[in-house]
Structure 1
Amino acid sequence: MINQDLRFRLVFHVGEEGILLREFLHSKGISKRTLTATKYEGGHITVNGIEQNVRHRLQVGDEVAIIFPAEQPSEGLHPEDGQLDIIYEDEAIIILNKPAGQSTIPSRDHPTGTVANLVAGKFIRDCLPTTVHVVTRLDKDTSGLICIAKNRHIHHLLSEQMITTGFHRQYVAIVEGKVKEDRFTIEQPIGRKEGSIIERMVREDGQFARTDVEVLRRFGKEGHDLTTIALVLHTGRTHQIRVHLQWVGYPLAGDDLYGGTQQWIQRQALHCSVLKFTHPLTGADMQFESDMPSDMQNVSQTQ
Structure 2
Amino acid sequence: MSRKKQKEKTEKAHSEDEASRNTDEYHCSGNVKIDFPRLCALLDIKDIPAVNTKQHISAAPRWSKPRLQIEKENADPHSTKNLKISGWKVDEQIARVLQKILPSLSRLQRLHFWQAGLTDQTVMSLINTIPLCSNLSFVTLEGNPLPEQSYHLLLSEDSLLTHLSLRNNRIGDEGARLIGVALSTTRSANRNLLSLNLSFNSIGDEGAAHIAQGLRLNRALLFLSLSNNQIGDAGAAHLAQTLGDFTLTHEEVMERRKLLLERAQSVSNVVLNDSDSCQQVEETVNPLLDHSAQYRDGELILPGNTTLISLNLAGQTILRHFF
- TM-score, normalised relative to structure 1: 0.23
Query: Greater strand share, 1 or 2?
Result: 1
More RCO (CA 8 Å, sep 6+): 1
Query: Greater helix share, 1 or 2?
Result: 2
Larger Rg: 2
- TM-score, normalised relative to structure 2: 0.22
